[in-house]
Structure 1
Amino acid sequence: MSPKLRKWIIELFLTVFFAGVVITGYNLYLQKDMPTGLAPQIRAQTLNHKAVDLHELSKSAPVLVYFWASWCRVCQWTSPAVSDLSDSENFHVMTIALSSGTDERIAAYLKAKDLKMPVINDDDGIISRNWAISVTPSFFIVRDGEIKSVLTGVTTKPGLLARLYLNR
C-alpha cells in the first residue's frame, strides 16, 4: 500500500471516528431531560381510530415509542424502518407525529411515503411535552410501563430490533 493511500485511509478513519464521538455526545446531551424510569402514560387514538394504552401494551411485549415529524429530514430515513417493524408480533409500535398538521394531512403524508405505522397526532403538543421531547426523531423502548432504552437521531432497523429483543 502506498504511503499516500495509507495516510488517506487513516485520516478517513479518524474523521469518521471523531464525527461519531461528536454525534453520540450531542445525542446524549439532547436526551438529558428526557424521562427515565416510569414512562409517562399515553392513552390516545390512532389516525385509524384504534384506542391505545402504552402501559397496557407494554405488559405483553416491548413497545417502540417513536416521536417523529413530517418535516423532519432524519425522520424520512428512520420512518420506513419503524413502519416495517410495526407488523411484528413480537413487540408493539406506537408513533407520535409532532407538529405535522391535521389528521388528514398526516394520513396523506403516510400514503405518499407508503408508511403503514400506527400514528397518534400530537397536534396540541401535550404528549411531547409530557415526554420532554426536544429533538426528532426520538425513540423509546418501554416494557412493563418502564423506559428501558432512549435513542435520538439516526438509527437503523437492525439497531431498533436489537434494542427491542434485548428488552423482551
Structure 2
Amino acid sequence: MSKRLGKLIKEAFITLLIGVAVMTAYNVYLQKDMPSGMAPELRAMPINGEEVDLYTLSEQKPVLLYFWASWCRVCHWVSPAVSDLSEDYQVVTVALASGSNERVAKYLNAKDLHFPVINDLKGSISKTWNVSVTPSIYVIRKGEIESITTGYTSKAGMLARLWMNR
C-alpha cells in the first residue's frame, strides 16, 4: 500500500511541475508583445476617484496596474486580492470591455471591490499597453515597468512584486 501511495505522490508532483512549466511558458508567450522599459503614459479619470497620472504616482512608491474585466473568470479570483492590496498600496485598475461606468460601478459594489477603476470603454488603453489577456498585472516604479504577470496571481505574489520594487 505504501509503494502505491509513494508512486501516486511522485506522479502528482511530476504532473504539477509540468503544469507549472506549461503555465510559465504560456505567460512568457503572452507577454512578448507587452511593453517593457518606460511605461506608456496613463493619465485618466477613474469612475470612482480623482484623476490618475501613473508617472506621478510611481515616483515615490511602486504602483500595481491591474487590467481586468467583469466577464473574466480568473479576475473573479484575483480582484479581491487586488482590492485588499489597494488599502495599503498604490493600485490603479483598468476595466476592459465591461460596459458603462454605471455597470462597472454596480459590479464593484456587488463584488465588494474597492479600487480605483479607469473604464476603458473603447479599448484604447489596453491597445496602448498591448494587453491581450485578462488579468494582466504590471508593477510600475518611477515610470518604468518593473514586472508583468498575466493570468492568475495570488495576493502573496503581487505583494512580493510590490515589495521587491519599493
Q: TM-score, normalised by structure 1?
A: 0.97
The 5-angstrom pairing of residues 2-21 of structure 1 reads 2-21=2-21
Aligned length: 166
TM superposition outliers: structure 1 runs of 4+ over 6 Å: none
Question: Counterpart in 1 of 2:134?
Answer: 136
Question: Counterpart in 2 of 1:126?
Answer: 124
How far does the alpha carbon of each residue in 1:105-134 deviate from its partner, in whole angstroms, 9 at most, with x for none? 000000110101110000011100000001
- % identical aligned pairs: 58
Question: Counterpart in 1 of 2:53?
Answer: 53
1:95 aligns with 2:60: no
Cα gap change, 1:166/1:81 in structure 2, threshold over 3 Å: closer, same or farther?
same
The 5-angstrom pairing of residues 1-168 of structure 1 reads 2-88=2-88, 91-168=89-166
Q: Could you tell me how far apart the structure 2 residues matched to 1:41 and 1:92 are?
A: 17
Aligned partner of residue 44 in structure 2, secondary structure: strand
Aligned partner of residue 60 in structure 1, secondary structure: coil
CA RMSD of aligned residues (A): 0.8
TM-superposed CA distance for 1:48, in Å, is 1.8
Aligned partner of residue 158 in structure 1, secondary structure: helix
Gaps of 5+ in 2: none
Q: Could you tell me how far apart the structure 2 residues matched to 1:147 and 1:159 are?
A: 16
Gaps of 5+ in 1: none
TM-superposed CA distance for 1:155, in Å, is 0.7
How far does the alpha carbon of each residue in 1:27-63 deviate from its partner, in whole angstroms, 9 at most, with x for none? 1100000000000011000112410100000002100
- 2:49/2:116 contact within 8 Å kept: no
